[in-house]
């Protein structure tokens, strides 16, 4: 673990006067302070907030009370998306984090601040959480090498890991309009299914192999002008923060449509993100070296290589996927964990993804969403999709109540969770990224 520029906002001893934030099992202690968009009640305008314990700090009210940095432009806070705020870049987000940390600190904040608690805080469970940014572009990478190997064995058995894989961070352009926030239903897509045998017509109807993909998403902060490239050494500064991302996938539609131009309708019907953006600064204590490459693997090309990125450009985020079926909920059974994984298994770092994405002069915009690709690990318990867990639908998974699944059925609720833990630091979490499957129209 290399030295990273930590500050008082990471101090594990720091406590908040918001009592629920001091629960060590919680996702949102004072060391986290993730950004989101929320509203309370149907008449209420969506606006920026920061999660603290089981509460949301209202940034509009905090701004009115003069509790935020003076340099923060009003339009960055009075907005229904985080685009203007995160476009200010990491130094501005860092300053905001310091100020909010002081406002919520049990020892630093005065009675004056706390007397405004009812104005500043809202019960998270009573609020609606919205998509955090207005997303102009969504790109999904394919940086989970264990997923690429396992999924490739199902989809392209003759060439499971493409020959370009260890040279090029592979990605496709996803659909920004159908990115939805945790809690929104996912409708089973209709589409063409592969012919049963060679020469026959394809089938058509509801997808029969509906799947999830466990991923991390990250949001672009300042962005870059068209015609310019973001250098690898500064690429991590382009990232405002991270969330969980479920890239819903219709495997039958995908298998039939994806050659030669990649996935299209098999992915574009829905992508679910968790509502909170955990800032790059909050994640500093959990940075780890990039995945080690074996001696027989190529070094990244110079535009993808930076020694600091190699030393600390990856992230140690523990990930899990929970499944709850309709029958389980009817009987009051808890959701069951069907896999766990970790973002350390990614072959490319987020900075490498940004450098690669822009090397041709492509412009990233504030609020753009970038997915890492499915994050599987090397063992059978760490496979990041049903496709892999069930070996292409051949080996169903058995649930504790006797139900079995190859792919997802109506009423199934899939929940992604992420949590960072390191000795000497406060644990932080991402909240939930959950959605339930409903039938095709």
Decide if 147 is catalytic.
yes
Q: Least distance from C-beta 434 to Ca ion, angstroms?
A: 18
Q: Least distance from C-beta 342 to Ca ion, angstroms?
A: 17
Q: Quick one: how far is CA 141 from the chain centroid? A: 12
Closer Cβ to Ca ion, 247 or 252, answer by number: 247
Closer Cβ to Ca ion, 182 or 385, answer by number: 385
**Position of minimal CB gap to Ca ion:** 247
Q: Least distance from C-beta 177 to Ca ion, angstroms?
A: 17
Which residue among 27, 58, 140, 211 contacts Ca ion (CB under 5 A)? 140
Q: Which residues contact 364 (CB under 8 A, 6 or more apart)?
A: 137, 220, 223, 224, 230, 238, 354, 357, 358
Query: Do 50 and 35 contact (CB within 8 A), yes or no?
Result: yes
Q: Least distance from C-beta 213 to Ca ion, angstroms?
A: 4
Closer Cβ to Ca ion, 120 or 317, answer by number: 317
Distance CA 68, CA 76 (A): 11
* Residue reference for tokens 């690709």: 373
Closer Cβ to Ca ion, 83 or 349, answer by number: 349
Total residues in contact with Ca ion, by rule CB under 5 A: 3
Per-position DSSP letters for 243-266, written without gaps between them: EEEE--EEHHHHHHH-TTT--STT
Is residue 247 within the footprint of Ca ion (CB under 5 A)?
Answer: yes
Q: What share of the chain is helix, strand, coil (3-state, %, to 5)?
A: 25, 25, 50
Q: What are phi and psi of 78, to 5 degrees?
A: -85, 75
How many CB atoms are located within 10 Å of the residue 131 CB? 21
Binding mask 38-77 for Ca ion (x = CB under 5 A): ----------------------------------------
From 396, 367, 379, 405, select the one nearest 273 (Cα to Cα): 367
Closer Cβ to Ca ion, 211 or 306, answer by number: 211
| Vertex 291: Cα angle to 355 and 264 (nearest 5) | 55
Please identify, among the stretches 185-193, 205-213, 223-231, 400-408, the one whose residues bind Ca ion according to the rule CB under 5 A. 205-213
Please identify, among the stretches 60-68, 241-249, 283-291, 323-331, the one whose residues bind Ca ion according to the rule CB under 5 A. 241-249
Please identify, among the stretches 107-115, 211-219, 227-235, 268-276, the one whose residues bind Ca ion according to the rule CB under 5 A. 211-219
Distance CA 100, CA 109 (A): 10
Q: Least distance from C-beta 371 to Ca ion, angstroms?
A: 6
Closer Cβ to Ca ion, 56 or 416, answer by number: 416
- The three-class DSSP label of residue 191 is strand
Catalytic residue among 147, 345, 356, 357: 147
Please identify, among the stretches 49-57, 239-247, 312-320, 433-441, the one whose residues bind Ca ion according to the rule CB under 5 A. 239-247
Which residue among 27, 105, 213, 306 contacts Ca ion (CB under 5 A)? 213
Q: Which residues contact 158 (CB under 8 A, 6 or more apart)?
A: none
Please identify, among the stretches 69-77, 136-144, 228-236, 294-302, the one whose residues bind Ca ion according to the rule CB under 5 A. 136-144
Closer Cβ to Ca ion, 143 or 240, answer by number: 143
Q: Least distance from C-beta 374 to Ca ion, angstroms?
A: 5
Binding mask 291-330 for Ca ion (x = CB under 5 A): ----------------------------------------
| Cis bond before residue 260 (omega within 30° of 0) | yes
Reading the block at residue 90, the tokens are 């990491």
Q: Least distance from C-beta 224 to Ca ion, angstroms?
A: 24
Per-position DSSP letters for 364-398, written without gaps between them: P-TT-EEE------SSGGG--SHHHHTTTTTSPEE
- The three-class DSSP label of residue 199 is coil
Query: Do 386 and 405 contact (CB within 8 A), yes or no?
Result: yes
- Interface ranges with Ca ion (CB under 5 A): 140, 213, 247
Active site residues: 147
């Amino acid at each position: 673990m290399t030295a990273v520029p930590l500050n008082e906002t990471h101090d594990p001893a720091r406590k908040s006067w918001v009592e629920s934030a001091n629960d060590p099992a919680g996702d949102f202690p004072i060391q986290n302070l993730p950004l989101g968009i929320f509203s309370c009640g149907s008449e209420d305008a969506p606006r920026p907030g920061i999660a603290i314990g089981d509460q949301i700090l209202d940034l509009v009210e905090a701004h009115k009370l003069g509790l935020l940095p003076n340099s923060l432009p009003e339009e960055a806070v009075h907005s229904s998306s985080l685009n203007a705020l995160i476009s200010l870049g990491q130094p501005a987000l860092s300053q905001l984090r310091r100020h909010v940390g002081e406002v919520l600190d049990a020892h630093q904040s005065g009675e004056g601040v706390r007397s405004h608690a009812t104005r500043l805080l809202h019960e998270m469970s009573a609020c609606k959480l919205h998509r955090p940014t207005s997303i102009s572009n969504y790109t999904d990478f394919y940086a989970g090498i264990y997923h690429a190997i396992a999924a490739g064995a199902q989809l392209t058995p003759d060439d499971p890991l493409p020959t370009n894989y260890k040279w090029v961070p592979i990605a496709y352009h996803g659909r920004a309009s159908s990115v939805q926030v945790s809690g929104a239903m996912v409708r089973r897509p209709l589409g063409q299914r592969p012919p049963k045998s060679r020469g026959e017509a394809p089938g058509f109807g509801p997808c029969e192999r509906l799947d999830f993909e466990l991923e991390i998403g990250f949001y672009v902060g300042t962005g870059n002008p068209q015609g310019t490239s973001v250098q690898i050494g500064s690429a991590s500064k382009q990232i405002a923060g991270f969330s969980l991302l479920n890239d819903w996938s219709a495997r039958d539609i995908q298998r039939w449509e994806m050659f030669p131009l990649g996935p299209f309708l098999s992915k574009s019907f829905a992508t679910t993100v968790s509502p909170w953006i955990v800032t790059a600064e909050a994640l500093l204590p959990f940075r780890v070296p990039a995945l080690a490459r074996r001696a027989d693997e190529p070094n990244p090309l110079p535009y993808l290589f930076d020694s600091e990125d190699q030393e600390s450009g990856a992230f140690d985020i523990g990930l899990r996927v929970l499944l709850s079926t309709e029958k389980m909920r009817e009987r009051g059974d808890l959701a069951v964990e069907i896999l766990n994984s970790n973002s350390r298994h990614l072959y490319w770092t987020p900075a490498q993804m940004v450098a690669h994405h822009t090397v041709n002069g492509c412009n990233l915009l504030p609020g753009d969403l970038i997915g890492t690709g499915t994050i599987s690990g090397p063992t059978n318990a760490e496979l990041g999709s049903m496709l892999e867990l069930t070996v292409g639908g051949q080996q169903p998974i058995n649930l504790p109540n006797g139900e079995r699944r190859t792919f997802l059925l109506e009423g199934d609720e899939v929940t992604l969770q992420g949590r960072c833990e390191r000795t000497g630091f406060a644990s932080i979490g991402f909240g939930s990224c959950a959605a339930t499957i409903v039938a095709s129209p």
